[in-house]
Structure 1
Amino acid sequence: MNRARLGLLTGTHAVNDLYQGLLPALLPFIALERGYSYTAVSGLMLAAMGLSSVIQPLFGLYVDRASRPWMVPLGFVTAAIGLVLVGMSPDYWVSWAAAVLCGLGIAAYHPPATVAARVAGGSSQKAMSVFSVGGTIGASFAPLLATAAVGNGQLHHSWLLLLPAVVMLVVWTLWTRRDVQNTRSAMASPAHTLKTTQQTNDWRAFFLLCAVIVGWSIPYVTVLSMLSLYVTRELSGSAFMGAAALTTLTAAGAVGTLLGGWMGDRWGRIPAIRLGYLLALPAMGGLAMASSAEMAWACTLALGVCMFLPFAPQVTLAQDYLPRNQATASGITLGLAMSIGGMVAPLFGMLSDAYGLRYTVSTVLCVLCAACLLAWCMRERAYSPQRLAAQM
């Protein structure tokens, strides 16, 4: 394990996903200052998260062909520029196009950075967990940073949000100049190590897993995009309380990711996945029935942990369902399947405009119930020692 390189990549992941979290954190301020409806706000989420997830598998195919280390800094810098333009532009459609640019940057970053993190971490699963949680930690700081930079009608100060990307770009440039050869080897695509001939693909089980992930994606993206507005408008909480709830959701997700990986190793992936969905139901129900901002915050804490318990087990299970096409499995589960939540976000925005945010939260609870039921239809697939040897 190259700890220095892994630390650098974890830092870039934190910065990149900071911008992924900054968009939903900016939405309450944009809606308040510009008078956007819930539908318009959800449209910005669609532009960034939905299109980003759809295009991410294509970037993965591009990276698989050759080593492209320059895509790591290009990704998080592009995301930063797009995010700043979202906050600075008073025109909705310019902001929408900027949100697309932000999403493209986020999508371009993940394939090369994940490959590099795997090489830097060697055979350690803990290394990949640290890299993944680095992104979650970055996203968890987004609401507080957004409040500090653009709160109280200061959207014209959105340019301040570019600073983390500039600092990380300087760090990346200095490090790569010092260690050019090692950087190239760290970014080398290990696509040839992912191929296996020992097992067949189980497409039926894989598509069932995709359906479960869609049932996860819709509630998560909806809550992520509406949580601050729900706390401030429906529950009369302060702007700080709304930002704190959003921070809690993402930070609790980091805890849930680590805990889910530990549970998967100890008791198996299917039990970890089922338990996560089962425990998320009362947490989501409590959020829907919350009578105060404090109660919503407590339910958000539980929801973040529970919804992310299945995250790591689902990714590895997808790869084992498609042992001959593991890159495809990762691209679909982390890209296309999760993008459904962003695509349907405007529909739930329209629902919120018509009936209110509390009704929307109750509706996505029903979607989460369906995902929980489907999770009970899934089955484990043994992890092949031969495949493990092929991947090292």
Structure 2
Amino acid sequence: MVKSSRHRGGPVTLLSVGHACVDVYQGSVAALVPFLVSERAYPYAAAAGVVLAASLLSSVVQPLFGVLTDRRSVPWLLPVSTLAAGVGIALCGLTGQYALTLAVVALSGVGVAAYHPEAARVARIAGRGDDRAMSWFSLGGNLGFAAAPLLVSGVVGTGGLAASPLLVLPAVAGALLCAAALRSTGRRQPPGADASRSPAGRDDRASFARLSAAIACRSVVFVGLGTFISLHAGQQVGGATAVATTALFLFYAGGAVGTVLGGRLAGRFGRLRVVRWSYALTAPAVAGAVLVPGPLLLLFAAVTAVGLSVPFSLHITLGQDYLPRHPGTASGVTLGLAVSVGGVAGPLVGALADATSLRVALVPLIALPALGWLFLRTLREPDRHLDRPSS
């Protein structure tokens, strides 16, 4: 435990804060939706299309970046991808045309995609494969999500979409933190250095596929609610912008709490048991967030986020242990699915909301955590593996 604490106090902490600076831009896309609806009169489906633009291309390229990190160390991706993620969002408010808005948001999505597989690999090495270390790394991403609505509301809510260039500042800070983390872990290796690693164990592709299917169910719920919870809360609770911002903040903050709990609970009860229970208990919380009117909706939204986020870091380590020979690919798929499938489903939710109502469109999300539990039900705990570079 002392060793784990030391890692958290050094490179893992730097990586966690850098992760927050990157995932601000994933959270910013959803946080921008109410402003795009109000300033540009986007319908629900068009607003969800902006979220899709950030996630669809990301979903395609993130596993490819994972394959790349399995073949060689690419630490330079961390600061470069962080800056790309920030620049895309910074330009979002300056592009009056819908197509250009989609393009710059897609640029941000590619930056986010390029960052995560290499960052997860470096975090796994820095934390010696410890679930709590990975949960601290993942916590940074959740805190970035949670900070996004406050940041966007403060900047865009005050200066309008034209003030969006100010949103690049976290990316600059994140790039500097990534460089410091890489120096601290000593991961600046010469080309071909990773070829000396000898991965242990065999890939269990069938178990990884079932884990990925469960993650896809979780993704649709998390991204669907993350995209529309602010608008849904505004309709059901009232209070317009203040309630919308509060709902999104509580949703992402609940995610941060869940991520920390995941690592701690896994150490006591085991990863798969914790993941299964989190899926099972999330379904009624989603029902409350969708169906319960009034301020209590905000509480259910926060509880839903906790339940959805408890397994987040555990998905990463489970995936890496199911594919011990391809940990970068595992990270790319698990982290990519965490947002991509939900982003693809988002416009469908938006189109249904345009045709009926937002509440009706969110009702199908209630069943998905239970479906995810079914995919996880027969999985077995994999062996723990950690690639270590040869001396």
TM over 0.5, shorter chain: yes
Distance in 2, Cα, partners of 1:28 & 1:81: 21
Q: Distance in 2 between matches of 1:290 and 1:100?
A: 35
Do residues 255 (structure 1) and 282 (structure 2) align?
Answer: no
Amino acid at match of 2:290: A
Q: What's the offset of the Cα at 1:331?
A: 2.5
Q: Which residue of 2 aligns with 1:73?
A: 79
SS at 2:347 equivalent: helix
Corresponding position of 2:141? 135
Q: Is 206-215 or 341-350 further displaced after alignment?
A: 206-215
How many residues are treated as equivalent by the alignment?
384
Determine if the alignment matches structure 1 residue 267 to structure 2 residue 269.
yes
Going from structure 1 to structure 2, the CA distance change for 1:186 and 1:10 (only over 3 Å counts) comes to farther
Q: Does 2:230 correspond to 1:228?
A: yes
Deviations 1:250-277 (A, max 9, x none): 1111211221222222222232122111
Question: For residue 235 of structure 1, what is the amino acid of its counterpart?
Answer: V
Change (3 A) 1:129 1:190: farther
Unaligned runs of 5+ residues in structure 1 are none
SS across alignment from 1:184: coil
Q: Distance in 1 between matches of 2:206 and 2:187?
A: 39
Q: Deviations over 1:192-211 (max 9, x none)?
A: 54622x4x443333222222
The Cα offsets for residues 77-130 of structure 1, whole Å up to 9 and x where unpaired, read as: 111110011122111110000110010111112223233333333454433322
Distance 1:336 1:391, change over 3 A: farther
Identify which range, 57-66 or 357-366, moves more after superposition: 57-66
Query: 1:278, CA displacement in angstroms?
Result: 1.6
Question: Does the residue aligned with 1:344 lie in a helix, a strand or coil?
Answer: helix
Quick one: distance in 2 between partners of 1:261 and 1:56?
24
| Structure 2 counterpart of 1:195, one-letter code | P
**Are the counterparts in 1 of residues 121 and 331 from structure 2 also a CA contact under 8 Å?**
no
Please say which of residues 143-152 and 204-213 is displaced more in the overlay. 204-213
* Residue 37 of structure 2 is aligned to residue 35 of structure 1: no
Aligned to 2:199: 195
Q: Which residue of 1 aligns with 2:248?
A: 246
Shift of 1:152: 5.7
1:148 matched residue in structure 2: 154
Tell me if the contact between 2:117 and 2:331 (Cα under 8 Å) persists in the aligned partners.
Answer: no
Distance change in 2, residues 1:382/1:89 (3 Å): closer
Match of 1:328 in 2: 329
Alignment RMSD: 2.8
- CA drift of 1:183 comes to 5.7
1:7/1:257 CA distance change after superposition, 3 Å: closer
**Cα 1:140–1:357 shift into 2, 3 Å:** same
Distance 2:333 2:72 in 1: 21
Change (3 A) 1:358 1:100: same
CA distance in 1, matches of 2:262, 2:164: 36
Distance 1:241 1:190, change over 3 A: farther
Aligned 8 A contact 1:115 1:190 in 2: no
What amino acid is aligned across from residue 157 of structure 2 in structure 1? G
Check conservation: 1:317, 1:380, Cα contact below 8 A.
no
Q: Is the Cα contact below 8 Å between 1:219 and 1:364 reproduced in 2?
A: yes
Is the partner of 2:293 in helix, strand or coil?
coil
Rounded Cα–Cα distance in structure 1 between residues aligned with 2:279 and 2:178: 38
Query: 2 CA distance for matches of 1:114 and 1:87?
Result: 30
Q: In 2, Cα distance between the equivalents of 1:42 and 1:248?
A: 21
| Residues 192 and 326 of structure 1, relative CA distance in 2, 3 Å threshold | farther
Q: Aligned runs of 1:1-392 on 2, under 5 Å? A: 3-122=9-128, 124-151=130-157, 154-169=160-175, 175=180, 182=186, 184-185=188-189, 193=197, 195-196=199-200, 198=201, 200-292=202-294, 294-336=295-337, 338-376=339-377, 378-383=378-383, 387=385
One-letter code of the match for 2:279? Y
Residue 157 to residue 372, structure 1, CA distance change in 2 (3 Å): same
Q: Which runs of 5+ in 2 are unaligned?
A: 1-5
Cα separation, partners in 2 of 1:185 and 1:325, compared to 1, 3 Å:
closer
TM-score (norm 1): 0.88
SS at match of 1:141: helix
Deviation at 1:352, TM superposition (A): 0.9
C-alpha displacement at 1:286, in angstroms? 0.7
Q: CA deviation at 1:49?
A: 1.7
Question: Shift of the alpha carbon at 1:172?
Answer: 5.8
Distance in 1, Cα, partners of 2:155 & 2:191? 34
Quote the Cα distance in structure 2 between the aligned partners of 1:273 and 1:172: 30
Q: Deviations over 1:223-262 (max 9, x none)?
A: 1111111112343233122112111111111211221222
| Preserved CA contact (<8 Å) 2:120 2:331 | no
SS at match of 1:93: helix
One-letter identity of the residue aligned with 2:359: R
**Counterpart of 1:361 in structure 2: which amino acid?**
L
